[in-house]
Chains A and B, each alone.
Chain A
C-alpha cells in the first residue's frame, strides 16, 4: 500500500482525509486506483495532477516506480512560462 497525501481543497473528494492509502507500484496505478477508490478524485485526475515522490515532482510518467516507503504527495499539474 502507498500512503498518499491529498491537498487541502481536494480532501472533499476523499471524505476529508488528508492521507489515503491505495495499492500502487507506479504512477499510473496510483492514479487509477485513487480514481477507483475515491471516484470524486477522478475529475481532477482527468484534468491533470503531478505526483511528488520523495520530494521529486513528476508530471505524467506512468511507469515511475513507487514503493510503500516513499513519501507520495498529489499536486496540481505543473505549468510554467
Chain B
C-alpha cells in the first residue's frame, strides 16, 4: 500500500455508479433557493449607480437629493468604507466601488438602499456625480505602448522589462533548450499572430446577496458564491470585522465557472445594511453582470513552431499578451506554462505580459489563461500538419508529453494520460468518419494543472445509522453526489443512506474556493479520511461491546467484524446497530478531517470537432463533437460527462460567437444575452464524452479534477475545423459569421 492507502484498484460498489442527483427535484420544481430567493422581514432593496465612462476622475458625488427621497434608507459612496479601515483600500474594494477614479464602463460609484427596487432606482437618478473624463484604452496591444493612457498607477512589478507603458504589470518567461538550434533543424516554420476576445462565464444566475449587519458589528450574509470562506475573508477585511462575527451562508448556485470566486456586491450590501440598520438585498441585473463582474482576459499572441518533414516538433515559442481589466491579474503565467504542456520538446520558450486596460477586472474562467494560449499553439501545430501533409493525430502522439518528459513549465512529468487519450481519439469512429463538402475536422489537445487546497469535512453517524456529511464548498458541478458516493463507498453502505450538505462559515474550518477542479479531489479525499476516522471509532465501540481489543475489530461491508479467528466469535455489528447504541457506548459518533490537500494530478483532454461552414453566410454549424478526457477515476460518470460536455459547449461558444465588444467610446456594446450569443441546445449536436481513467496516485480512489480541462481544447479544435473546411487559416476568435464571410469573400477576390 502507498502512504495514501490508495484503493483505486479495488472493485467499487458505489463509485462509478450513477445515482439520481440529490438537488434534482428542488431544481426542476423551482424549490431550490438561489441567491435572490431569500426574503427576510424589514428587508430593503439596493441598487448601484455605475459609471457611464470607461475612465474618469470622480470630482464629487452629491447624494443629498437621493437621501431626501421618501423611502430611501441609506446611500453610500467609497467614503463610507474609509471608516472601516485606515489601510489603503484593497483592489477588491476599489473594484467593488470606485474611489478616486472610475476605471471602466459600469464601475460602481454609489449605492442606495430603499423600501423598494423602484424607489432605489429613482434615487440613483438623484445622485449627482461630477466626472473629469480621462483618455481610455481597452485593447491590450494599445495599452502596452509607451504613449498609452495609464489605467492604474503603481502596479508594475520588479520583473517587467523596460520599453512598455505602466499598464504592463508583470512579466513571465518559461522554457528550456536552444530555440535557434531547434528552428534551424526544422523543415518548416509557421509563425502567426492570434487574438481572442474576452468571454463571460455566462452563468445563468446573476450575482445576488442579502446582508444583515447590526450596530455591534455582527453580520449575516447570504450569497451565491463559489467560496463563502473567501467571501468572509474579503468582506471581513473590508468591513474591519473579525471573521467570527461575519457568518456567510452560500445559496444554491446557478453556475459559476470561476466567475463567482471573488466578490462584487457583498461589501456594498453590508455597508448599506450597517448604515440603514436593516437587512439589505442586492441583486445584479444581467447588464451589470456583463459590465461589472469578471470576464476572461482578452489576448494577443505570437506563436512560432518548427517541424521536420516527418512531424517532429523541433522548437516552439509563444509570446502572450493578456489584458485583465483595470487591476493586476495572474493569468498570463498560467497560459505561458500551459501553452506547450502537451508536447515533449527539446526547445521551448514562452513569454507572457499581464496588462491593465479600462475594462472590468478579469476573473477566473475554467482553466484561466490556458484556453487562449493552447488555442494559438494547437492552431499552428495543425497548420504545420496540413502544410506537411501529415496526420494531425499521429503527429500529436509522436510529440506527446509522457512520463519522463521535461514539461514546458519545468517539472518532469510522472504518470500522465495524454497518449492514452490521443490513442482513444485515434481509435474512435469519429476520427475516420467521412466528411462532406464544406465540412472540416479539427483536433486539439488541452491541459490543466488542477489543485487541492484547504478543506474540512465532518461526517456524522446518526442514531439510525444514516450519515450526514458536512462540507464547505458550494456545489457547482455535482459534488454533493460524488461526496456522498465516496462516503458510502468507504463506509460500505448504500448511497441513499448519505446526505451531504454545504455548511456556513461558522460550521467548519476554512475551505478554499470551489475552483481549480479541486472539490471532488480534495473534499473527496477529506471525506474518505473522515469516514475512516468514523470507522475507527465504530470499531472501537464494537470492541467495547464485545470486550475485545480495538485492534481485533475490522470493518467490512458496513459492519464491524472480528478481525480474525483469534478475536473471538461475534456476529457482525452493522452500522445501524452500532449507531443505535452510540449514546450508551460513549456518545455520538463522527469522523472529521481537515487538510491542505496536495497531490492533485494534471489532466489532459483531446477534442474532435466536425463543422460545416455555410459559404454564403459565413455561419458555422458544429455537426459532430467528441471529448476524450482522463478523469483519473470518474466517481459519478454522469457528472463527469456533464463537465466534459459543458466545458466543450462553453469553449465552442467562445470560439464561434462570444466576445466582449467595446466601442471607440470605451463602453461595452453587447451587455446582454441577446447580443452576447452563448450556444443553446438547438445550436449543437450531442457532445459525446469518452472518459479515460488513468488513476492519480495522489488520491485514494485515483481522482483527477475534471472541471476545467474540458474548456481548453474547443477553441483550437473549432478553429482548425473551420480552417480546414474553408482552406483559410483563421487567427482571431470568435469565428463569427461576419468575420468568416469577410475572409471567404477576400479569398474569392484574391483567387
Contact = CB atoms under 8 A, between A and B. Distances in A.
Interface of A: 5, 7-10, 12, 40, 43-44, 52, 54-61, 64, 71, 73-81
Given A59-B453, A80-B450, A81-B365, 6 more contacts: A8-B349, A44-B159, A56-B599, A57-B451, A74-B410, A79-B516
B197 interface: no
Interface in B129-171: 157-159, 171
Given A7-B410, A57-B411, A71-B411, A81 B337 contact: no
Contacts of A80: 258, 364, 367-368, 448-451, 515-518, 708
B708 A78 contact: no
Contacts of A12: 159
B451 A76 contact: no
Interface stretch (B172-180, B184-192, B684-692): B172-180
Identify whether the interface residues of B are mostly helix, strand, loop, or mixed.
loop
A75 B596 contact: no
A44 B170 CA distance: 11
A74 B409 CA distance: 10
B413 A7 contact: no
B337 A10 contact: no
B361 to A, nearest CB: 14
B410 A75 contact: yes
29 contacts: A5-B410, A8-B175, A9-B174, A9-B351, A12-B159, A54-B414, A55-B412, A57-B449, A57-B451, A57-B600, A59-B596, A59-B598, A60-B596, A61-B596, A61-B598, A64-B598, A76-B330, A76-B337, A77-B330, A79-B364, A79-B368, A80-B364, A80-B367, A80-B450, A80-B708, A81-B363, A81-B364, A81-B366, A81-B368
Identify whether the interface residues of A are mostly helix, strand, loop, or mixed.
mixed
Interface in B705-743: 708
B513 to A, nearest CB: 9
Given A44-B159, A56-B598, A59-B598, A78 B451 contact: yes
Contacts of A64: 598
B414 A78 contact: no
A80 B363 CA distance: 10
Interface in B351-368: 351, 363-368
Interface residues of B, number: 48
Contacts of B365: 81
Given A64-B598, A76-B330, A81 B515 contact: yes
Nearest to A12: B159
B334 interface: yes
B261 to A, nearest CB: 7
B395 to A, nearest CB: 25
Interface string B331-374: 10110010000000000010100000000000111111000000
A47 to B, nearest CB: 8
B174 A7 contact: yes
A74 B359 CA distance: 32
B604 interface: no
Contact of B157 (A43, A73, A77, A78): A43
Contacts of A76: 172, 330, 333-334, 337
Kindly list the 7 A-B residue pairs having the minimum CB-CB distance in the complex, ordered from nearest. A81-B258, A80-B516, A81-B364, A8-B173, A52-B411, A9-B173, A73-B410
Interface string B516-539: 111000000000000000000000
Nearest to B331: A79
Contact of B708 (A55, A74, A81): A81
Contacts of B261: 81
Contact of B413 (A40, A43, A44, A55): A55
Interface in B443-483: 448-453
Nearest to B449: A78
B698 interface: yes
Contacts of B173: 7-9
B257 interface: yes
Contacts of B172: 7-9, 76
A75 B516 CA distance: 16
Contacts of A56: 414, 598-599, 698
B451 A81 contact: no
A77 B451 CA distance: 11
A31 to B, nearest CB: 15
B477 to A, nearest CB: 12
A75 B518 contact: no
B664 to A, nearest CB: 31
Nearest to B602: A57
